[in-house]
Amino acid sequence: MPIMTQPQIQRAHEEPYAWQFSVFLPNRVGQLNELLRAMAENQLELLGISVFDSTDWAVARIVFSEPDKAREILARCKLAFTECQVLLVVLQSARTLGEATQVLLAAELNVHFAYPLLANHEGQPVMVVNVDDHELAIQALTQHKFKLLGHEDA
């Protein structure tokens, strides 16, 4: 009886991930501006941002051009943050976010959050997307001809 094994996927490059930082800021006037100024002073490009606030805290979800440099600056500024991998999905040729979420739904993946990048890719909009299983999402989206970027591509 033959032994069943998992199919092997050859990867010619790194998976198309970007790193998102969730930075926790006291909900006081000027805190976001101070964070953005510190990044600008260190020549760190902000690619995408989404801010949620509550009574005491705000959470800024940010994708930077250089995650290692961002990590260093956030630590140096003594800011509390977490980080996670996210997908950067290019909505090319009039493809919509609805089409992308339909592909993810068909793969039974839950979208935790999504927001647009500030920059586009070759004139096309790019969405930051976080899901249950990035590897499965990559397979499903690329199979349906969606282009995915890594942070170095954005």
pLDDT digits (tens, 9 = 90+) for 70-97: 999 999 999 999 999 999 999 987 778 8
5 compared with 74, residue with greater pLDDT: 74
What residue ranges do the domains of the chain occupy? Answer: 17-85, 86-149
Average pLDDT for residues 26-52, to the nearest whole number?
Answer: 92
Q: How confident is the model at residue 153 (pLDDT cuts 50, 70, 90)?
A: confident
Question: Sign of torsion, CA 35 39 40 44?
Answer: negative
Question: Taking all residues of the chain, what is their mean pLDDT, rounded to a whole number?
Answer: 87
CB 149 within 8 A of CB 121: yes
**Torsion angle (degrees, nearest 10) of CA 21, 46, 91, 82:** 0
Q: Which CATH class is domain 17-85?
A: alpha beta
Closest CA to 51 of 22, 78, 76, 79: 22
CB 114 within 8 A of CB 128: yes
Report the phi/psi class of residue 153: left, alpha or beta, with left for phi > 0 and alpha for psi in -120 to 50.
Answer: alpha
User: What CATH number has the domain spanning 86-149?
Assistant: 3.30.2130.10
Which two structure tokens, joined as six digits, stand for 19?
């790193």
Average pLDDT for residues 31-51, to the nearest whole number?
Answer: 93
Q: Which helix H or strand E contains 16, and what residues bound it? A: none
Q: What angle do CA 120, 81, 38 make, to 5 degrees?
A: 65
